[in-house]
Chains A and B, each alone.
Chain A
Amino acid sequence: MLRSYPPQIVLEAVLNGLLTGAVYALVALGLTLVYGVLHIINFAHGAMLTLAMFAVLMVHLGFGLDPYLAIAPLAALFFLFGYGLQRFVISPASRNDDGAILLVTLGLSIVIENALLAVFRSDTRSLTLDYSFSIVDLGFALLSLPRVIGFGVAILVAGALWAILALTDTGKAIRAVAKEKLGAALVGIDVNHVYAVTFGLGAATIAIAACLLMPSFYVNPRAGNAFVLVAFTVVVLGGMGSIPGALVGGLIIGVVESLCGLYLGDSLGQIGIFLIFILVLLLRPTGLFGARA
Chain B
Amino acid sequence: MAEALLAIDGLTAGYGQTEILRGISMTVEPGEIVAVLGSNGVGKTTLNKVISGVCGATAGRIVFAGQDITNMAPERIVAAGLIHVPEGRKIFPNMTVRENLELGSYRRAKASRATNLEKVFETFPRLMERTRQAAGTLSGGEQQMLAIGRGLMAEPRLLILDEPSLGLSPLLVEEMFGLVRRINADGLAVMLVEQNVVQSLEVASRAFILENGVFALQGNATDLAASDDLRRAYLGM
Interface residues of A (CB under 8 A from B): 169, 172-173, 175-176, 178-180, 182-190
Contact = CB atoms under 8 A, between A and B. Distances in A.
B99 A172 contact: yes
Contacts of B107: 187-189
B103 A190 contact: no
Contacts of A186: 52, 54, 74, 78, 83-86, 90
B164 to A, nearest CB: 14
B114 interface: no
B75 A180 contact: no
B206 interface: no
Interface of B: 52-54, 73-75, 78-79, 83-86, 89-95, 99, 102-104, 106-108, 110, 150, 154
Contacts of B110: 169
A179 B94 CA distance: 7
Contacts of B85: 186
Query: Chain A interface secondary structure, helix, strand, loop or mixed?
Result: helix
Nearest to B48: A186
Query: Chain B interface secondary structure, helix, strand, loop or mixed?
Result: loop
B154 A187 contact: yes
Given A186-B86, A187-B154, A175 B92 contact: yes
Contacts of B91: 180, 183
Given A186-B54, A186-B86, A175 B95 contact: yes
A188 B94 contact: no
Contacts of A180: 90-93
B78 A188 contact: yes
Given A185-B74, A188-B108, A173 B93 contact: no
B52 A172 contact: no
**9 cross-chain pairs, A with B, having the tightest CB-CB distances, nearest first:** A188-B107, A188-B78, A183-B90, A188-B75, A185-B74, A176-B92, A179-B94, A190-B75, A180-B92
A179 B84 CA distance: 18
B158 to A, nearest CB: 13
A185 B79 CA distance: 12
10 contacts: A172-B103, A179-B92, A182-B54, A183-B90, A184-B92, A186-B90, A187-B104, A187-B154, A189-B75, A190-B75
